[in-house]
Amino acid sequence: MRAAYQYRIRLTKSQEAEIERWLDMLRHQYNYLLADRFNWYEQNRCSINSCPLVCHLPDLRDNPDYFSQKRTLP
């Protein structure tokens, strides 16, 4: 048998203000990035998918081993 519990939290004024500030920042960031996607679409007029991202990646070797990967690290 599954039981679901719900808890009501009682925040202080400072906690409530901090959460409101975080939610406000996240809302602004979401809207900014959404507008950025719309602007990109308006400029390029093509659908957003993984092809433009994948096409510019270099081809990986078939079986890279540990040492060849380690050599490429800075």
Q: What confidence tens digit (pLDDT) does each residue in 19-54 have? A: 999 999 999 999 999 999 898 888 877 666 666 655
Predicted confidence band at 72 (pLDDT cuts at 50, 70, 90)? confident
Q: Are 19 and 30 in contact (CB under 8 A)?
A: no
Residue 74's pLDDT is 67
Q: What is the amino acid identity at position 36?
A: D
Exposed/middle/buried for 66, CB within 10 Å: 0-12, 13-18, 19+?
exposed
- Compute the distance between CA of residue 41 and CA of residue 44 in angstroms, rounded to an integer: 5
Contact 40, 48 (CB under 8 A): yes
